[in-house]
């Protein structure tokens, strides 16, 4: 079995890299890991690359890393906010339909970002995200962060935004879903699954007013410092067996907002954020917001991916 693993650009030296933990976890299952990297010829070239790659692999592992550019889901976010504020014109300004259906709130108590205006201010801000040459360490890699120059507060702090990576991974996720290619998304990878199928993200969980918990823990990442509840009856619950409530690690500042139509939540954080998703009607299409590659007792997730490929 061949499992493709996506990479992150380490911007300090212009190398594409992936944490060795991902590679080791896949290899331990008996599968053969190969690395999938974007190319520098633009978004369309990377979407074309996705169509080539999907035929070469038996499964996909979409790894953690930088943030998906907000323009990939902003239209759906804005239409949803307009509907919420002006239900009387909901029919005329219906939230965008996608080939996969209409995104929805993940829970009854979910809320919108406190900084999300419904006019063109946020669209203009998204199209002109201000960045500085500020380097930060993200999951062991040195990446570029935005430098606090944006008019919309939740656009500050975006990490390692890459149009090339977005185009490649979003297209890979859609192709994998359509073709039943077993797929596991980790952290950013889970967010890719949601956005690819028409969902949206909170651009910064704390700045958006969704939670006050700090989800960016320091090393060592093998320390599990947060609690999550796995939903009984889900594929995730069957894979992790008795771990319906357990400790996880956390290295992220964004999270799922509107949930893509084909997905269901399979794990919740203690602060109510989505910690895992899966497509119940697919053999194996799953994402987790934490980093199981560092956690020995979560190795069964990678074995389940390989088993699904067989």
Q: Which of 215, 243, 252, 291 is catalytic?
A: 291
Mark whether 270 is an active-site residue: no
Mark whether 72 is an active-site residue: no
Contacts of 180 (CB under 8 A, 6+ apart): 282, 283
Mark whether 293 is an active-site residue: yes
Q: Which of 187, 226, 252, 275 is catalytic?
A: 187
Residue 82: CB atoms within 10 Å: 18
Cα(278)–Cα(280) distance, integer angstroms: 6
Supply 190's token pair: 């889970």
Which uninterrupted H or E stretch holds 253? none
Q: Which of 21, 169, 171, 293 is catalytic?
A: 293
Cα(228)–Cα(105) distance, integer angstroms: 19
- On the 0-12 / 13-18 / 19+ scale of CB atoms within 10 A, 232 is exposed
Q: Mind giving me the DSSP string for 103-132?
A: -EESSTT----TT--SSHHHHHHHHT----
- Tell me the catalytic residues: 187, 291, 293
């Amino acid at each position: 079995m061949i499992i493709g693993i996506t990479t992150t650009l380490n911007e300090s030296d212009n190398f594409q890299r992936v944490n060795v933990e991902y590679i080791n976890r896949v290899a331990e299952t008996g599968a053969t890991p190969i690395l999938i990297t974007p190319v520098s010829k633009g978004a369309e070239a990377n979407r074309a690359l996705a169509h080539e790659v999907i035929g070469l692999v038996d499964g996909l592992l979409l790894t953690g890393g930088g943030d998906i550019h907000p323009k990939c889901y902003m239209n759906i976010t804005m239409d949803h906010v307009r509907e919420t504020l002006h239900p009387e014109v909901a029919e005329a300004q219906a939230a965008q339909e996608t080939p996969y259906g209409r995104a929805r709130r993940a829970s009854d108590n979910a809320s919108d970002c406190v900084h999300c205006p419904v006019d063109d201010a946020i669209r203009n801000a998204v199209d002109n995200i201000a960045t500085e040459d500020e380097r930060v360490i993200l999951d062991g890699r040195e990446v570029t962060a935005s430098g606090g120059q944006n008019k919309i507060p939740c656009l500050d702090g975006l990490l390692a935004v890459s149009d090339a990576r977005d185009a490649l991974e979003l297209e890979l996720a859609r192709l994998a879903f359509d073709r039943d290619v077993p797929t596991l998304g980790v952290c950013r990878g889970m967010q890719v699954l949601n956005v690819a199928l028409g969902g949206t993200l909170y651009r910064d969980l704390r700045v958006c007013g969704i939670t006050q918990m700090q989800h960016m823990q320091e090393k060592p990442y093998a320390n599990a410092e947060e609690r999550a509840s796995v939903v009984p009856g889900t594929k995730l619950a069957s894979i992790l067996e008795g771990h319906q409530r357990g400790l996880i690690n956390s290295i992220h500042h964004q999270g799922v907002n509107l949930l893509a139509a084909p997905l269901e939540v399979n794990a919740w954080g203690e602060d109510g954020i989505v910690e895992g998703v899966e497509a119940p009607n697919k053999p194996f299409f799953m994402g987790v917001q934490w980093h199981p590659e560092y956690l020995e007792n979560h190795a069964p997730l990678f074995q389940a991916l390989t088993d699904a490929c067989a």
